[in-house]
Amino acid sequence: MEQVAIYAYQIGVSFSIFILISLGLAVIFGMMRVINLAQGEFLMLGAYACVLATQAGLSLWLSMFVAAAVVGLFGIVVERVIIRFLYGRIVDTLLATWGLSLFLVGGITTLFGPQSESVVNPLGNVTVGDIALSQYSLAMIAIAIALLIGTYCLWRFTRFGLIVRGTMQNPDMARGLGVNTDRVFMLTFGFGAALTGFAGAVLVPITGAAPPMGVFFIAKAFITVISGGHLPLIGTVSASAIFGAIDGFVAFVSSSVVGEMSVLFVAIILLRLLPMGITGHLRRGL
């Protein structure tokens, strides 16, 4: 029974990390088809914003929202300055955002130095039987699920969500119906960046904040969204579930590196079997 609980806990934590790092990308890449290689650096910016906000005296929970706002605004600036010239030129977007990623890593290292910053974990442990589980990790699982449901509801039930989905599906038609698509693209990118920034802040108590941290997440985020296929939310959730289960299990019985390598291995096999991704055969959905 305890064994089951431990595995469930490990897999849950893994799953929530996959969701957190790839949800923003699911919006930016899954919906907008913008390959944003600076995604990992958006996470890093969120982490740094959170560290600075807590150092200024805010509580960790408030700092997460500050991080989301800061990175969201930064995302809007990036969209205006770089991305909007590159819609439809998918390879160029990828290269330009890679340049942005190098620039951000270099810039943050210059500003804050190469050392890692950390935040005190505000929660203790909870014991189940005779094993201690970190309460923060449990909170992280809850936050990941809440973000997921929030994003789903935003796209599914609000007028803004409807306009965004319509614009992504057929920008010309949306423009013909009087939608300011330019602004919709800008706001959607900003929303994706904000989600990423929030995720970065959520991860801080576990990972800390350091300039090269983005690199650790970017690979996982992209294989999750790509394996998910063309329905960004459902795809990301199902891919996160599969990869989270594999990663959580293998990392627990072996080491975290073996966990990651097995995820990559499964992802490549999965793409060979389902080249369109997990949701490739589903016609409708989000």
Interface ranges with other proteins (CB under 8 A): 35, 82, 85-86, 90-92, 94-96, 98-107, 109-110, 215, 218-219, 222-223, 226, 255, 257, 260-261, 264, 267-269, 271-273, 275
Give, for 125, the enclosing helix (H) or strand (E): strand 125-128
Q: Cβ 122 to other proteins, closest distance in Å?
A: 30
C-beta of 79 vs 174, nearer to other proteins: 79
C-beta of 84 vs 156, nearer to other proteins: 84
DSSP-based three-state secondary structure for 127? strand
Q: Cβ 281 to other proteins, closest distance in Å?
A: 15
**From CA 137, how far away is CA 133, in angstroms rounded?**
8
C-beta of 241 vs 271, nearer to other proteins: 271
C-beta of 180 vs 255, nearer to other proteins: 255
Q: Cβ 93 to other proteins, closest distance in Å?
A: 9
What's the one-letter identity of residue 22?
A: S
Other beta carbons within 10 Å of 40: 27
Give, for 126, the enclosing helix (H) or strand (E): strand 125-128
Q: Cβ 62 to other proteins, closest distance in Å?
A: 31
What's the one-letter identity of residue 76?
A: I
C-beta of 272 vs 284, nearer to other proteins: 272
Q: Where are the alpha helices (DSSP H) in 113-180?
A: 135-157, 159-169, 171-176
**From CA 261, how far away is CA 250, in angstroms rounded?**
10
Q: Cβ 260 to other proteins, closest distance in Å?
A: 6
